[in-house]
Structure formats: C-alpha cells, structure tokens
Amino acid sequence: MARDKPGDSTGLLEISPDCGHASAPGEIVTKTALRVILVGSALLFSAPWFLAAGQAVSTTPIANGPLKESPKSTSASVGHDQQTSPSKAVAESETLYADLADSHSVISTIDSGLFATYRGKDRAAWKHLYREKRRRLAEKLSRISASGLSPLDARALDVMKRHLHDDLPEQFNDQNASSEHCQDAPRHDLSLASLEGALDSCFVELGNNLEFEGKRITRVSALGMLEEINEEERRKKLFYAFEPLWNAVDGEHDAASPYRRLLPLVVSAAEGHGTWIDSAARTIGVSSPEVERWLEQILDTWRQVDGGQMVEPWNYFYRGGEAARLLSAVTPKDAFVSVNQHYYRDLGADLQQLGVLYDLEARPGKAPIAYTDYVTRGRFVRGKWRKSVVRISASYATGGIGLLNELVHENGHAVYMTALHTRPAFMDVSAELFDEAFADVPAWNTYEPAWQRKYLGQAATESASLRALFNSVVLDVAWALFECRMLRDPASDPNAVWTDITSRYLHIVPHPEISWWALRGQLVQTPGYMVNYGLGSVLTADIRQHTREALGPFETGNPRWYVWTSERLLRFGEEKDASALLKQFLLRPVSPQPLLDQIRRLAPKQ
C-alpha cells in the first residue's frame, strides 16, 4: 500500500479487449480497454530479463504454465510425513506455500482489471489451484512440530502459519470489489470487515466521482488541483466538493456515524496482538506511548519553523504547492515512467530489466489508492532463480510533482520487493512501517532542486521544494497522531481531535463542523495504517542520513545504491526481524533526530 496522493516510453503496449480468443500460455487478455505499460516488454527483448505479455521469462529455460511441484513435494499422505524429517517437511511445505502465495497474487491481479488470464489460466482455474494448494498446505503444516527444528526452520513454519491464517483465507474474495457499497455504511449489523468494505467503497463511489465545475474528477486529482488553482474561491469550492465523502464516512457526526462505530470494532479485533500503532512501535523498538510522543515532537518542530500564519484548509495545500506550480510544465503524467526509469537506472536499479508492470490509467471501479503488489514471487526453479514480477496500480489523470513523487515512492516498493532473494517462506516485506519508510528513501529526492534540474530540466527553489515535501510529511504525521488518539479513545469526537491537531501544529483554521480528516482511504480501509507513513518518515530520514554517510550522496543517482542497499537491508524479507535488522544497519536504535534536522532546514535563515 502507498500514498494517496506515462508517454511514449519504449515499454508501451496497448492491449485491446478484442483479444477474446483462447489465449496461449503467457498471453494476456484484458477485461477492459486498458492502457498497460509493460516495462521490459517485447520492445526490449535484448534485456536478460523481460516481460512477455505479463509473464517473467528468463534466458534460462524454466517450467512454463501453472506452478508445478517437483515429484518430491506431491505426496501429502500421513505415512509420507511420518517418514520425512521435520526440516524436509518444512521445505516441502514451502513449495506449496510459494504456489499458494503466487496463485493468490495472480487472482488479485486479475481482479484488479490488469488482465483476465495469466500463463494461459483464467480466474476460475487459478482459484481452483488456490483452493487445492491451500488445502494441502494446511494439512501439511498441521502435522509439523516445531520441536527439533532449527531456529530458521521454526521461523519459516511460524511465518507460513501466520500468513495462512491472516492473509490466505479458505474462500478467496475479490479484494478490489467489495460486496458492500457505500450506501451500506449506515447499517448497524455489519461486521468489521463488511463495514471497512462499505466505507472503502465510499472512496471509490464518491471519492473518485467528485463534482467540480460541471465535471467529475478523482480524489487524487482534486488534491493535486488544490495545490495549483490560483483563485481562492475556486479552491474553497473544490475543497467542499469532498463533503459527500466526508458525510458518508462520518454520518451525522454522532455516535451512530459509520467511522465512530468502526473504531471500537478495530480495537476489539486488535486484542491480543495489537493495532498498527503497536506493530509500528515494535518495528522501531519503542513503546506505543513513545510513538505518540515522537509524532507530537515532529509536529511541534514544524510548528516552530512554519511561521505561525493561520490558513484555511483549502489554502494549506496551495501554500505547500509553490513547487508544483513552478514545475507544472515539466511534470506531465506522460513523462512519469521515463523519469522513473532514468532515475532508478542511475541508482543501479534498472526498472525495465526488473520487469515492473504499470497500471496507471484511471477507470471505473479501480482501487482508490496507489499500491504495489506481487504478480508472482521470486524463487528457485531447477536450480535457477526466477525473478519476482511486481505491478504498480495508480490512477493518474493529471501530472504534477506530487503525483510524480508518488510513482517514485511506488517504485521504491517495487525495487524492495524485487530485491528479496530468500527462501519462499520469507519472500515478503518484513514490516509495513519499514516497507513504507524505505519507499520514501529514494522518493524524497524528488524535492531536492539538484534532482529536479537533472531529471526535469528545471528546478524550484530549495525553500519551495522543502515546503512541498514537508507539507505532505507533517500532514501524514498529523493523521498518524489522529489515529493514535482515536484508537486509544474510540469514543472521542474525530472532528475535535483533528481540529486540535491541525490548528495547534499546522496552523490551520479550525473547522470542527466538517469531517475533512476523511481524505485518506487508509483511515477506513485499515484504521491505524497511517502510522506507517507518519512514523515512517522518522525511519526514512534516518536511513537516508546513514546511507549518505556510508555510501555518499545519492540525490542525483549513485550506481552503487541498489546493490549496497539490497545486500544490507532488502534481500532478507521476513527472514530477519525488522527491528534487529534496522539496528544492525544503523549501528544504533532508530532516532527522530535526523527528521527533526531536515524539517529545521525550513527555518528562516539567520
């Protein structure tokens, strides 16, 4: 998952829905008239690795078709397991687990609308494979005892069991098409998952259909426009175009509102394992109360350097949008992919050879937030490593430095995921906070004038660029603090909590009569998740500082960056505990000081 917030590239392929014939293995048939950009596609066959219509293909022959197991892993009988050593049983389980995880990701990709078939199989075939692999994996895992396993095998067993329970349900549902609709949100009989689904649908049905000046625009486009519209009265009208969404989420601003009913369900479901805030705290090695204190410290530092002039909320975005206005002509959406390719290539990560899939055009029913996910995970096949296939989904109807930064962020996720090179049980990011924080390590450079001059040919001033970056960062910190307080006391009035935070720290004129905090889909889709952005900025700044000290500058590229970072931070996946890995990398505990120092760059020069 990632922040809310290409043209004529050599990997562009237009795919038509007319391709309704029976597909050959490896062929994609799209559901809709969808513009798909295949980086490293048929026009780049000279690359060692390329994507041929959505399938990762190696120059070394590999088994094509549906994820077949070796003969050694096909037997699931009790007698076989009794004769198999515990270590070998774990290894055989990992083969099933890899197949299950891949089938889950392929189905999710099909459901996203990117394509209708993959490796010659449609959704029904992949769903059948998913059910069969899950049944066999559940049976096999239930017969393995952790007793006698090595520490690493025991960790692999625990990780597989956790994901099987939490992320790989018996009945696979279309994650991109909730069975609930926004109109269902007021119902009091909904489960936690159903209420989250209904509220998430509000961001699709209403958030992606805002009415402004006789047109319908998406929420992401509207937020970008608030940075660029010069007339204040028009900005105010655009800001209030969000009101149907706010009202759907918070109802009549009373205890019966959908959001206020959601929070107690979230807190109840978190009993025993904690909320996203607790998970984030564990990742950086502090307590949950300390997380809240860090967030307050960050916001207070911003309060001190911001200047103190109160602004209306619709003007807050505009005040931080000077860089966007200055760079508008050199940040068209059609250049997003080529700019990303150039930048990451300079960092040693060739997105074309890595085979990243892009789905960047807006369409009805598409997920309302930008995100990056697997199509298939990397693994060894016949002794050769078959690379991961990763996709990025976003809806870019307009250009702008903010949305360009978002795509750089999403590609940060992509290079993290493709850097994973470990056993199947560990082929996932180790912690969401680390994942989000790392994606911003390369992305923050887009707000450095040196980066802008090299990749855009024109730069905003340093002060305008830094304000654009930290205007967004501290707003994420404010949302993180908002969720900390709301989950600690679900009976609180969210409008009052948000008004207190934004007026005190961000100098935004109080408007407790409206629920304008409800601008981010994560607030209802996965309550508490915003901490991974807000607190993640602490980790981003810390990793960036250590990287510069150890490797040298990387604002305008550094060919050693990707290999160096992959070897020290990224390749392990869930093999290592994120907290211990970060301490090992930084050579000390995580600290908010680097972020505070960066924010203070905005202070008036003495």
pLDDT of residue 7: 31
The average pLDDT across 416-436 equals 95
Query: Pick from 476, 465, 488: which is nearest to 539 by CA?
Result: 476
Q: Is the pLDDT of residue 585 over 70?
A: yes
Q: Within a 10 A sphere around the Cβ of 416, how many other Cβ atoms?
A: 25
Mean pLDDT of the chain: 87
- Half-sphere exposure of 94 toward its Cβ, with a 13 Å CA cutoff? 24
Confidence category of residue 83, pLDDT binned at 50, 70, 90: low
606 vs 82: which has the higher pLDDT: 606
Question: Could you give the CA distance from residue 13 to residue 337 in angstroms, rounded to a whole number?
Answer: 13
Confidence category of residue 524, pLDDT binned at 50, 70, 90: very high
pLDDT of residue 307: 85
Percent of the chain past pLDDT 90, that is, above it, reads: 79
Q: Is the pLDDT of residue 61 over 50?
A: no
Write phi, then psi, for 374 (nearest 5 degrees). Answer: -75, 150
Backbone CA torsion sign across 535, 540, 541, 546: positive
Question: Could you give the CA distance from residue 332 to residue 318 in angstroms, rounded to a whole number?
Answer: 19
Both tokens assigned to 577: 């505990």
Confidence category of residue 174, pLDDT binned at 50, 70, 90: low
pLDDT of residue 75: 40
**Do 392 and 372 meet the contact criterion of CB atoms below 8 Å apart?**
yes
The average pLDDT across 587-592 equals 96
Confidence category of residue 362, pLDDT binned at 50, 70, 90: confident
Element (DSSP H or E) covering residue 121: strand 121-122
Number of domain units in the chain: 1
3-state secondary structure (DSSP) of residue 594: helix
Question: Could you give the CA distance from residue 70 to residue 118 in angstroms, rounded to a whole number?
Answer: 21
- Minimum mean pLDDT range among 44-48, 309-313, 399-403: 44-48
Both tokens assigned to 19: 């391709």
The pLDDT tens digits for 430-486 are 899 999 999 999 999 999 999 999 999 999 999 999 999 999 999 999 999 999 999
User: Phi-psi region for residue 63, left (φ > 0), alpha (ψ -120 to 50) or beta?
Assistant: beta
**Do 499 and 510 meet the contact criterion of CB atoms below 8 Å apart?**
yes
The pLDDT tens digits for 309-341 are 999 999 999 999 999 999 999 999 999 999 999
Q: Is residue 446 part of a domain?
A: no
> Tokens 């206020």 appear where?
260
Kindly write down the DSSP assignment for every residue of 4-39, as one continuous string. Answer: ----S-TTEEEE-TT--SPPPTT----SSSEEEEET
> Tokens 């009208």 appear where?
237
Kindly write down the DSSP assignment for every residue of 483-537, as one continuous string. Answer: HHHHHH-TTS-HHHHHHHHHHHHS-BPP-TTS-TTTT-THHHHSTTTTHHHHTHH
Q: Is residue 217 part of a domain?
A: no
Q: Is residue 157 part of a domain?
A: yes
The pLDDT tens digits for 262-304 are 999 999 999 988 999 999 999 999 999 999 999 999 999 999 9
pLDDT of residue 178: 56
Confidence category of residue 366, pLDDT binned at 50, 70, 90: confident
Q: What is the 3-state secondary structure (H, E, C) of 69-82?
A: CCHHHCCCCHHHHH
Kindly write down the DSSP assignment for every residue of 42-76, as one continuous string. Answer: GGGTTSSEEEETTEEEESS----SS-PPPGGGT--
30 vs 195: which has the higher pLDDT: 195
Per-residue burial over 465-490, b if 16 or more Cβ lie within 10 Å, else e, is bbbbbbbbbbbbbbbbbbbbbbbeeb
> Domain span at residue 161?
71-166
Q: Is residue 106 part of a domain?
A: yes
**Do 359 and 34 meet the contact criterion of CB atoms below 8 Å apart?**
yes
The pLDDT tens digits for 532-543 are 999 999 999 999
pLDDT of residue 177: 53
Q: Is residue 144 part of a domain?
A: yes
Q: Is the pLDDT of residue 68 over 90?
A: no
3-state secondary structure (DSSP) of residue 2: coil
Q: Is residue 45 part of a domain?
A: no
The average pLDDT across 186-199 equals 95
Q: Is the pLDDT of residue 575 over 50?
A: yes
pLDDT of residue 363: 85
Q: Is residue 309 part of a domain?
A: no
Confidence category of residue 82, pLDDT binned at 50, 70, 90: low
- Amino acid residing at 327: L
- Minimum mean pLDDT range among 120-129, 167-176, 199-208, 431-440: 167-176
**Do 97 and 160 meet the contact criterion of CB atoms below 8 Å apart?**
yes
Query: Pick from 386, 385, 441: which is nearest to 413 by CA?
Result: 441
3-state secondary structure (DSSP) of residue 111: helix
Q: Is the pLDDT of residue 246 over 90?
A: yes
Write phi, then psi, for 38 (nearest 5 degrees). Answer: -100, 100
